[in-house]
Chain A
Amino acid sequence: MPAQRSRDVVEVHDLEPAEFLAQVHSFEFWFHSVEGYLAGTSYGHRPGTREAPLTDTERERLISVLCNYCVGETAALEGASGLVSIAPNRLAKVFLSTQVVDEGRHLEVLLHRLEDLGVADPEAEVERRASPSLREFKRRLLGLVGSKDWEAALFAQNVILEAMEFTVFQSHARTADPVTAEILSGIVKDERRHIGFGENELGRRLRESPHRRARIGEVKRDLDALVLETFEETVREIGIPASERPDLGRAYLAAVARLGFP
């Protein structure tokens, strides 16, 4: 994109760091952000977007994939709502309240998509098709939230789970039918905030309290293989050829490397 010379002097990057943090963690900021890409949509897509014909095999695969996305989003919804009560400050609590709304929306639009695809009882179908490894991840994540282990729970949810979802949803949106692609693209836009919040909040906590690093290392060893396995399964279901499969771990590994984990 070519840049152009300007007389413009207003610069967002001149904000003071504290002002920047207060703005981006606010409900006001969230509201005007999502308005940009959700206004005029219905259940996550434009009403005029036309359905592409799917074969029975494609439809079955898509249903299985969406069922697993629903498990991930339910984990994120329950996890984020639990994190609100243990977040260490007001800005984190307010941001997490916006994440709860995002996760609730994601679950709703994905369940609605399952109905569109002819699933009579989407929640029962999610129960039936959910991957055991993803269920196990959800159980462990909610255990960390329940034990009020703020850094560990935030790492599990906003670094591990959100990074994997961000990568898989982006990849799937490139090959999905038009309606599913629009739904996933909208979710990815929300996920940018969630991964950024997790990495930055954790980065600040580790900078202030380096002794917490060992605990995060434990959680990483305990959980990351489980999630990588889950999403590898999902990518196979999506039907992306092996040669074109994204390196699912790349975004996650880059995030943990920036936080100082090998």
Chain B
Amino acid sequence: MEGEAAGGGRVPRQRFLLEETGFDEVPTRYRRFYRHWQGPGDSLGPNEVLCPVCKVVIRSTRELRAGDRLYCMACMTRLRVRANEAGRLEADCEY
């Protein structure tokens, strides 16, 4: 994963065990990296961002930081993580 230098060096990243959440739209070996957004009561973990194209939650085994590269396999999009004005992590498409 890229972006280690962008946020790294100070505090080690948290690591996460990704469990299956019932997401069934990609091949089995990739399913745990994605989950469906559950609506207003849902929230994103430090290892998750929402895909701006198809609104699936993208997950990583590592805490995300600005500059990281992610892939949404549900809609085949490459993304780059950034922090918005409020400091919340979002993802932009990289065509």
Contact A8 B17 (CB under 8 A): yes
Contact B75 A196 (CB under 8 A): yes
Q: Mark B8-37, 1 if CB is under 8 A from A, else 0.
A: 000000111111010011111011010100
Q: How many residues of A contact B (CB 8 A)?
A: 40
Q: Mark B45-80, 1 if CB is under 8 A from A, else 0.
A: 111100011101101111000001111111111100
A246 in contact (CB, < 8 A): no
Q: Smallest CB-CB separation from B26: which chain A residue? A: A33
Known contacts A15-B71, A196-B72; is A207 also within 8 Å of B16 by CB?
A: no
Main secondary structure of the interface of A (DSSP, over half): helix
B86 in contact (CB, < 8 A): no
Contacts of A3 in B (CB 8 A): 16, 45-48, 59
Which residue from B25, B53, B60 sits with its C-beta under 8 Å from A13?
B60
Contacts of A193 in B (CB 8 A): 74-76
Contact B76 A197 (CB under 8 A): yes
Which chain A residues in 192-220 approach chain B with CB under 8 Å?
192-193, 195-197, 199-200, 203-204, 206-207
Contacts of B31 in A (CB 8 A): 36
Contact B17 A204 (CB under 8 A): no
Contact B70 A36 (CB under 8 A): no
Contact A36 B25 (CB under 8 A): yes
Q: Smallest CB-CB separation from B74: which chain A residue? A: A192
Q: Smallest CB-CB separation from B75: which chain A residue? A: A196
Contacts of B33 in A (CB 8 A): 12-13
A32 in contact (CB, < 8 A): yes
Contacts of B61 in A (CB 8 A): 6, 8-11
Q: Smallest CB-CB separation from B45: which chain A residue? A: A3
Contacts of A9 in B (CB 8 A): 61
Contact B52 A254 (CB under 8 A): yes
Which chain A residues in 1-59 approach chain B with CB under 8 Å?
1-15, 17, 20-21, 24-25, 29, 32-33, 36-37
A-B contact pairs, 11 of them (CB 8 A): A2-B45, A3-B16, A3-B48, A8-B18, A11-B1, A14-B1, A189-B74, A192-B25, A195-B53, A196-B53, A204-B95
Q: Which residues of A contact B (CB under 8 A)?
A: 1-15, 17, 20-21, 24-25, 29, 32-33, 36-37, 189, 192-193, 195-197, 199-200, 203-204, 206-207, 254-255, 258
